[in-house]
Amino acid sequence: MTKRLIFLGPPGSGKGTQAQKLSEHHQIPHVSTGDILREAVAQQTSLGKEAKDYMDKGELVPDTLILNLIQDRLSHDDAANGWILDGFPRNVNQAAFLEELLIKLNQNADCVLNLEVPDDVLVERLLARQRKDDNEETIRRRLEVYHHNAVPVIDFYHQKQTLKTIDGNQEMEQVTKSLSEAVS
């Protein structure tokens, strides 16, 4: 059965880990925008070179470029039976672009999964990762930016009645179980 899923959730919510588990379970690709960008840059594709120019300047890669990368990725044979989009869309413009892209590809998202975790828990989790650029102030700022952009995206999918919110503040196995139940 085809599964096309969009994963939303703040940094530290565990969406990457959970997306990977669902990807393996349903044998569909876990499509992370970060991974796509890094791969395109490493392979020096024309889109990758264009993205690298923005990244080298410390700028965000434009929506249209990300969409072209996603369109290319969703056109691969391994995505014919489904996919999990992780980290995209990040704003309503991207969500609207994605809708148009899926229509063009004659596909649709089966459901949008939103992992909810309280900010204090996210800060704790992210500080435990101990990345060099992670301090509480930086993390709280990243979460602020995430929420500012994510709330309208969550509303966008809520209005389309495709949104399922999952409590991500549970044991990892319980989150996996909740996600599996939500998509079955």
Residue 167 clears pLDDT 70, i.e. is over it: yes
Q: Is 15 a catalytic residue?
A: yes
- Structurally, the chain folds into a number of domains equal to 1
Given this model, what pLDDT does residue 152 score? 96
**Is the pLDDT assigned to residue 1 strictly greater than 80?**
no
Q: What is the pLDDT of residue 178?
A: 96
For 124-159, the pLDDT digits (tens) are 999 998 777 678 988 899 899 899 999 999 999 999
Q: 142 catalytic, yes or no? A: yes
Catalytic residue among 3, 4, 15, 21: 15
Q: How far is Cα 101 from Cα 80, in angstroms, rounded to an integer?
A: 15
Residue 129 annotated in active site: yes
184 lies in a domain?
no
CATH number for the domain spanning 8: value is 3.40.50.300
Q: Does residue 14 fall inside a structural domain?
A: yes
| 166, part of any domain | yes
Domain assignment of residue 148, yes or no = yes
Residue range of the domain that includes 8: 3-179
State yes or no: is 131 an active-site residue: yes
Q: Is residue 85 part of a domain?
A: yes
Q: What is the pLDDT of residues 152-164, one digit of tens each?
A: 999 999 999 999 9
Predicted confidence band of residue 57 (pLDDT cuts 50, 70, 90): confident
Q: How confident is the model at residue 90 (pLDDT cuts 50, 70, 90)?
A: confident
**What whole-number percentage of the chain has pLDDT above 90?**
63
pTM of the model: 0.87
28, 79 contact by CB (below 8 A): yes
* 30 contacts 19 by C-beta, under 8 angstroms: yes
Q: Flag whether 136 is in a domain.
A: yes
Distances (CA, A) of 106 to 31, 103, 140: 18, 5, 39
Is 73 annotated as catalytic? no
What's the pLDDT score for residue 135? 86
The pLDDT of residue 4: 95
